[in-house]
Amino acid sequence: MFESLSERLSGILDKLTGRGALSEADVNEAMREVRRALIEADVALPVVRSFTDKVRSRAVGADVVKSITPGQMVIKIVHDQLVEMLGSDADPIDINAPAPVAIMMVGLQGSGKTTTTAKIARRLTMRDKRKVLMASLDTRRPAAQEQLKVLGEQNSVDTLPIVAGQGPVEIARRAIQAARLGGYDVVMLDTAGRIHIDESLMLEMAEVKAATNPHEILLVADSLTGQDAVNLATSFDERVGITGIVLTRMDGDGRGGAALSMRAVTGKPVKLIGTGEKSDALEDFHPRRIADRILGMGDIVSLVEKAAEAIDAEKAAKMAAKLQKGNFDLEDLADQLKQMEKLGGMSGMMSMLPGISKFKKQMDAANIDERMFKRQIAIIQSMTPVERRKPDILKASRKKRIASGSGVDVAEVNKLLKMHRQMADVMKMMGKNKGMLGKMMGAL
Ligand code: GDP
């Protein structure tokens, strides 16, 4: 899925990440390449144009926080724009309506409509514990009703008994009636397709819709057909009205043009994707996860996000200057602790890095958590400004006052002071080696 697009985009963006500074020309050049990659992936032209315009204007005006390279910032902007283009939030099938809830499946012949009907029914049955009835309304293709029956048997989902000679609307009415009598939660209507859209198909769909009042009308479209799938969705929506789209054969789609343009062009959500021939090869369409998959840089994106939220570039610069002079007082320590707390503590930061989960247990055991940061900040806040700048003046009576002011015992105040002393020593040492300090501040 998305392999060729993913390869292209990461190639383009990789070139930016290592750079210290990016000019407007650099961003423009990268956007020209991104534009080419999206066009080659068969994304609709207006969608491509709006995408690159938005990324460009946000990248040029962006506040680049100190700890992040401009290239990483561009990756984050591209990522956010991809998520927006894909529809922002996942939009799952909605079956919150009085039972039996009718789901009408529409689309062209060969798009994977019958297979998808069975996939959804199976998932509603097995995962969501719903009682589902499937009915094939396809009276044109001789084996269609039989095909659904076999899929039903394979997946332990009931199908409406076949009655020869009935038309689609009759079958649909019978299905709703049977679902009502049989206590079914959901009834899935697998309508007939055609090779191309034609008037008779649209009329048939409108009739079935009027007879059954479906809660969801899902268009099944073959992702490999790219922009044709998008045009198909537009036509079906104009004529019949659809509530969402299922894109099939995503397992074979390296380009992803249909998936990327569908939401922006039609305004309708892609709800599900088919990722294989088997009955369990069905996935929810999560815009964020898909964007992560396309860029292959999920970890960078979430690190940038957290850092951008929390780190104040000016403060970091001031801190660096102070450290180079070798003054690291308790005020600075409190600032550092607050930043760590904002980043979700050590455990929050570490959980974003792959393969680190095994260390998490040890950290939990060592009690390094957010509560500790909070207590330490409270201790520093109980000190006077002079005490914070010159911790050497803290003798027994002052320590006692601070401890009771912050609700801890004196031993904890001592522990904090010792930690500060050790940190200040390390900082002083590193202050003499500016390159090393710079690197550390950059990594924060
Ligand atoms: P219909 O005419 O629209 O009902 O299409 P079918 O459900 O009969 O599917 C046509 C073919 O596409 C079958 O061979 C399916 O196994 C295959 N197919 C359906 N969905 C997918 C999918 O997501 N991935 C792959 N690889 N094949 C699929």
CA–CA gap between residue 122 and residue 152 (Å, rounded): 8
Which residues contribute to the annotated binding site for GTP? 107-114, 190-194, 248-251
Q: Which of 115, 140, 225, 272 to mutate to test the pocket of ligand 1 (most atoms within 8 A of CB)?
A: 115
pLDDT of 399 > 80? The answer is: yes
pLDDT of 278 > 80? The answer is: yes
Band of residue 364 on the pLDDT scale cut at 50, 70, 90: low
Amino acid of residue 135: A
Nearest-CA neighbor of 117 among 48, 194, 188?
188
pLDDT of 435 > 70? The answer is: no
Q: Is-contact 59 310, C-beta < 8 A?
A: no
Taking CA atoms only, the protein residue closest to ligand 1 atom 16 is 277
Domain 3-89: CATH superfamily is SRP54, nucleotide-binding domain (1.20.120.140)
> For position 180, what pLDDT does the model report?
96
Band of residue 354 on the pLDDT scale cut at 50, 70, 90: very low
Strands (E) across 213-269 are located at 216-222, 244-248
Average pLDDT for 318-346? 73
- Alpha helices by DSSP H, listed for 277-383, are 287-295, 298-310, 313-324, 330-342, 345-350, 357-365, 370-381
pLDDT of 165 > 60? The answer is: yes
pLDDT of 20 > 70? The answer is: no
Average pLDDT for 150-166? 94
Q: Tell me, in angstroms, the distance from the centre of ligand 1 to residue 120's CA.
A: 13
Say which residue the tokens 């996935």 belong to: 283
Q: Which of 117, 277, 282, 285 to mutate to test the pocket of ligand 1 (most atoms within 8 A of CB)?
A: 277
pLDDT of 442 > 70? The answer is: no
In the structure encoding, which two tokens stand for residue 37, read together?
């990659």
Nearest-CA neighbor of 34 among 20, 15, 18?
15
Q: Tell me, in angstroms, the distance from the centre of ligand 1 to residue 222's CA.
A: 9
Helices and strands in the chain: count of H runs, count of E runs: 21, 8
List of residues 6+ apart from 379 with CB closer than 8 A: 402, 403, 406, 408, 412, 413, 416
Q: Tell me, in angstroms, the distance from the centre of ligand 1 to residue 56's CA.
A: 39
In the structure encoding, which two tokens stand for residue 249, read together?
């054969």
Residue range 101-285, CATH number: 3.40.50.300
Query: What does the domain layout of the chain look like in residue ranges?
Result: 3-89, 101-285, 311-443
> For position 355, what pLDDT does the model report?
41
Whether the ipTM is more than 0.95: the answer is: yes
Give the nearest ligand 1 atom to 220 CA: 3
Give the nearest ligand 1 atom to 110 CA: 2
Q: How far is CA 314 from the centre of its chain?
A: 31
Give the nearest ligand 1 atom to 109 CA: 2
Taking CA atoms only, the protein residue closest to ligand 1 atom 13 is 112
Q: Is-contact 163 174, C-beta < 8 A?
A: yes
Give the nearest ligand 1 atom to 250 CA: 23
Which residues contribute to the annotated binding site? 107-114, 190-194, 248-251
Length of the chain (residues): 444
Residue range 311-443, CATH number: 1.10.260.30
Q: How far is CA 246 from the centre of its chain?
A: 18
